[in-house]
Amino acid sequence: MNKWTSKSLKLVLKKGYLDKLFEIYPAIDKPRNLKVNNESKNLKEIYDRKNCNELIRELIRLKNAGFKFPIDNPYISFLGIHPESIDSNPKTLERICEILFKMDYDIIKSKLESPKSASRRIGPMFRKWLKSNFDFCDKEEFEKNYNLSFLNYGDKKLKLYAEDYLKCNFIEYSKGLDFIAKIKKNYIIGTAKFITDFGGSQKNQFSEAMHLIRSTKSPQNIIKIAVIDGVAWLRGEMKLNIESLSENEYCLSALLFNDFLSSFK
């Protein structure tokens, strides 16, 4: 384990860790600023008629307009992408509508207008913080720059750049990169994850970050880094994985990222 991982393990237990992290990940539910009554004049009437097919069509239309579907159901996306399936799968619709018609209309309306969950918007927050604190350059300027700078590409183009120009071989890493930085002759490639829970998609995100720093083959002047925050540092399999990292496998909190970069200047 290197000193940055060791420092992070101690940092997350210190007073004010989450308070400071909020500057990077301002996780506040964002209002939709959408009103059902302005977008759908007859939703209440459809609901009162208990017309299942018609209700599902209208709720999917509202979902496509930016509202939240009032219940979580794994079949909604399929019904929205393939509208013909609404009429050809009566049992599925019956099961969905059975739940909807047990709900008061005002509750359905409230859920449609509910804020966007902050946890669904965490991904771009780190990059937004980077852009407000560091210099981003186009490819030509980035390659000529000697001081610290970041390549101004999207995640997929960053990975292609790392493969084509930096000669990285992402053996088990399938996602795009969150950043590529250059300091003197060193390049720092990395991903940033705020792990909010154990298991499921969060475990997959953590595993992807570990694949980046553990299995990617690269030249000696390429530093691979996983910027990890959240519960991964606290306990369980994720923490054990972090504690087993070697000296040259860099995993650290975003709160230490600036100090980490400064160590290469």
How far, in whole angstroms, is CA 21 from its chain's centroid?
Answer: 16
CB atoms closer than 10 angstroms to residue 205: 21
Greatest alpha-carbon span in the chain: 69
The string of DSSP letters for the chain reads --HHHHHHHHHTTSTTHHHHHTTT----PBP----HHHH-SSHHHHHHHT-HHHHHHHHHHHHHTTPPPSS--TTHHHHHH-THHHHH-HHHHHHHHHHHHTS-HHHHHHHHTPPBPGGGG-HHHHHHHHHHHS-EE-HHHHHH--SSEEE---HHHHHHHHHHTS--B-SS--SPPSEEEEETTEEEEEEEEEE-SSSHHHHHHHHHHHHHHHH-B--TTEEEEEEEEEGGGTSHHHHHHHHT--TT-EEE-GGGHHHHHHTT-
pLDDT at 96: 94
What is the chain's alpha carbon radius of gyration, rounded to the nearest angstrom?
Answer: 23
Q: Which of 147, 154, 157 is nearest to 131 (CA)?
A: 154
pLDDT at 73: 87
Q: Which of 177, 125, 121, 185 is nearest to 151 (CA)?
A: 177
Residues contacting residue 264 through CB under 8 Å, at least 6 positions apart: 148, 183, 184, 186, 188, 223
pLDDT at 197: 83
How far is residue 113's CA from residue 234's CA, in Å, rounded to a whole number?
35
In DSSP terms, 191 is beta-bridged to 226
Report the chain (265 residues): mean pLDDT per 10 consecutive residues: 94 92 77 81 93 94 90 88 91 94 94 70 82 93 91 95 95 92 94 87 91 95 95 93 95 96 87
Q: Which two tokens stand for residue 69?
A: 């579907």
Q: Are strands 222-230 and 136-137 parallel, antiparallel or unpaired?
A: unpaired
pLDDT at 30: 60
Residues contacting residue 230 through CB under 8 Å, at least 6 positions apart: 193, 194, 195, 196
Q: Are strands 250-252 and 136-137 parallel, antiparallel or unpaired?
A: unpaired
pLDDT at 46: 94
Q: Which two tokens stand for residue 204?
A: 């997959």
pLDDT at 29: 56
In the chain, where the domains are located: 3-26+120-262, 36-112
